[in-house]
């Protein structure tokens, strides 16, 4: 079976590829010419089986190579097309955009060529699988849980990161947290992560077109979930558009059971876009009058704009019986019941500074129980109960 097709006038390179393929399953079919076929059909008609990998070796004109890559990207996107040559990084980006899946240094040795070919075969299999699932009936999408509040410093990041840890226990590696506080996001710090890639990479053209590329940009957290952190340079946030955020959340919801979104304070444009993609909104309020009033006005605006997600969870954070406000006062001001109350606790402040969310700890104090009650609200069994039970009154202790 010809898993590999090589087009090149360079017989020495042909020998190298042949040696590399002996370590892999399948054979190579070589065309010792510098002329590339007019389109995918012309090439495939000359073969008995469709190949998994096509290598365009030395001696092929670059514009012809890119033309063929573009055609294959449209006609047979599952086939991995590899270009062998010495190119500068700008050209490599251009080649990838055209549909080239990998670039091979022509001075590579047999082992290196074999490695690249093996990776190309794996990419082929993954894309085949994706095609098969794409042609199957659409699967249920995951929950997109956004954590919002008009005011800053009320505990959004604390709540979002603890939800991620809690859901990571229910659905290991089926959870991703996205930091959409693009300018001053601190999910990375709250989770003690030093990410190699950020939201900026995740909204790039290559990631938005290929979910496998997107997944390669996620950072794994040891508690069993993925994180997509904010860019380290606040000025880079300006480059991200609402359409890119909507696409990103849609892709992630197609891959993960739970997508958790931490947001910037207020109702910025990207926050509103995220809200429109959310199945669940977690509204966080502190136990102070400005925070409660802010939440009330925010919810009023969103009701008028008609962009309130289907399921609402109101979290009263930093609950304190001595704060001079009762739960009933707060509910009357917000115009909605408080679903979960999380006490003010030194352990939370401590956990932020250490970068270890409290739900990662073993002991169960009132703070941890509060977060657990919130996490439980995303458990399918809990959600199956009648709606009247969904907003039970909480007691402040």
Ligand X SMILES: Nc1ncnc2c1ncn2[C@@H]1O[C@H](COP(=O)(O)OP(=O)(O)O)[C@@H](O)[C@H]1O
Judged by the rule CB under 6 A, the positions of this chain that interact with ligand X are: 149, 152-158, 317-318, 342, 344-345, 348-349, 352
Q: Are 312 and 275 spatial neighbours (Cβ–Cβ below 8 Å)? A: no
With CB under 5 to 8 Å by kind, the binding choice for 292 among Mg ion, ligand X, none is: none
Shortest CB 214 distance to ligand X, Å: 25
Which lies closer to ligand X via its Cβ, residue 8 or residue 345?
A: 345
With CB under 5 to 8 Å by kind, the binding choice for 26 among ligand X, Mg ion, none is: none
With CB under 5 to 8 Å by kind, the binding choice for 221 among Mg ion, ligand X, none is: none
Residue whose C-beta lies closest to Mg ion: 157
With CB under 5 to 8 Å by kind, the binding choice for 154 among ligand X, Mg ion, none is: ligand X
Task: Tally Cβ neighbours within 10 Å of residue 176.
Answer: 27
Contacts with Mg ion by CB under 5 A: the residue count is 2
With CB under 5 to 8 Å by kind, the binding choice for 70 among ligand X, Mg ion, none is: none
Shortest CB 178 distance to Mg ion, Å: 13
DSSP-based three-state secondary structure for 354? helix
Burial class (CB in 10 A: 0-12, 13-18, 19+), 258: buried
Q: Would you say how long the chain is, in residues? A: 397
Shortest CB 150 distance to ligand X, Å: 10
Please tell me what DSSP assigns to residue 236: G
Half-sphere exposure of 244 (CA within 13 A, CB side): 17
Which lies closer to ligand X via its Cβ, residue 200 or residue 358?
A: 358
With CB under 5 to 8 Å by kind, the binding choice for 317 among Mg ion, ligand X, none is: ligand X
Shortest CB 293 distance to ligand X, Å: 16
- Which residues share a beta bridge with 316? 285, 341
Shortest CB 340 distance to ligand X, Å: 11
Shortest CB 161 distance to ligand X, Å: 8
Please name the helix (run of DSSP H) or strand (run of DSSP E) that holds residue 350, with its range, or none.
helix 346-354
Which lies closer to ligand X via its Cβ, residue 143 or residue 180?
A: 180
What is d(CA 156, CA 274) in angstroms, rounded to the nearest whole number?
15
Please, which of residues 126-165 interact with Mg ion by CB under 5 A? 156-157
Q: Which residues contact Mg ion (rule: CB under 5 A)?
A: 156-157
């Amino acid at each position: 079976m010809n898993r590999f097709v090589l087009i090149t006038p360079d017989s020495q390179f042909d020998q190298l590829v042949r040696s590399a393929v002996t370590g892999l399953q399948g054979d190579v079919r070589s065309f010792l010419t510098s002329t590339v076929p007019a389109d995918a059909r012309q090439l495939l008609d000359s073969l008995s089986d469709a190949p998994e990998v096509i290598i365009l070796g030395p001696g092929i004109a670059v514009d012809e190579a890119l033309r063929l890559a573009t055609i294959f990207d449209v006609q047979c996107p599952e086939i991995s097309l590899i270009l062998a040559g010495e190119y500068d990084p700008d050209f490599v980006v251009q080649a990838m955009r055209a549909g080239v899946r990998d670039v091979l240094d022509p001075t590579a040795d047999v082992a290196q060529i074999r490695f690249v070919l093996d990776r190309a075969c794996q990419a082929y299999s993954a894309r085949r699988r994706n095609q098969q699932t794409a042609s199957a009936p659409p699967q249920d999408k995951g929950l997109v849980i956004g954590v919002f509040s008009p005011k800053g410093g009320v505990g959004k990041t604390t709540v979002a990161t603890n939800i991620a840890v809690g859901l990571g226990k229910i659905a290991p590696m089926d959870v991703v947290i996205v930091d959409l506080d693009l300018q001053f996001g601190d999910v990375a710090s709250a989770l003690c992560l030093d990410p190699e890639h950020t939201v900026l990479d995740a909204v790039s053209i290559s990631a938005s077109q290929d979910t496998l590329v997107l997944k390669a940009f996620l950072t794994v957290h040891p508690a069993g979930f993925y994180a997509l952190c904010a860019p380290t340079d606040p000025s880079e946030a300006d480059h991200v558009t609402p359409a890119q955020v909507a696409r990103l959340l849609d892709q992630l919801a197609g891959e993960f059971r739970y997508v958790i979104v931490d947001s910037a304070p207020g109702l910025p444009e990207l926050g509103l876009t995220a809200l429109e993609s959310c199945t669940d909104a977690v509204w966080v309020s502190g136990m102070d009058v400005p925070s409660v009033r802010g939440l009330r006005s925010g919810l009023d605006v969103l009701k008028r704009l008609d962009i309130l997600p289907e399921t609402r969870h109101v979290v009263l954070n930093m609950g304190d019986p001595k704060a001079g406000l009762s739960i009933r006062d707060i509910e009357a001001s917000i115009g909605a019941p408080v679903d979960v109350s999380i006490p003010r606790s030194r352990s939370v402040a401590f956990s932020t500074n250490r970068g270890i969310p409290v739900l990662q700890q073993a002991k169960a104090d009132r703070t941890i129980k509060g977060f657990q009650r919130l996490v439980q609200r995303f458990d399918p069994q809990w959600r199956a109960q009648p709606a009247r039970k969904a907003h039970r009154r909480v007691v402040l202790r």
